[in-house]
Amino acid sequence: EDYLRARLAACEAGELEVVVHHSDLLALPRPVEA
């Protein structure tokens, strides 16, 4: 279960990077990395 949870977390992180990247391209404010 820990492995699956880690994979899901990595997937979510990857999607978040894509969203942030698109936000940069659109010159929109992006959330600050914690």
Note whether 20 and 32 are within 8 A (CB). no
Q: Which amino acid is at 8?
A: L
**Into how many domains does the chain fold?**
1
- In this prediction, residue 5 carries a pLDDT of 92
Query: Per residue in 9-18, pLDDT tens?
Result: 887 877 767 6
Considering only residues 33 and 3, tell me which one the structure prediction assigns the higher pLDDT. Answer: 3
- In this prediction, residue 16 carries a pLDDT of 67
Report whether pLDDT(22) > 70. no
**Local confidence band at 2 (pLDDT 50, 70, 90 cut-offs):** very high
Domain that holds residue 13: 1-34
Sign (positive or negative) of CA dihedral 22, 19, 33, 14:
negative
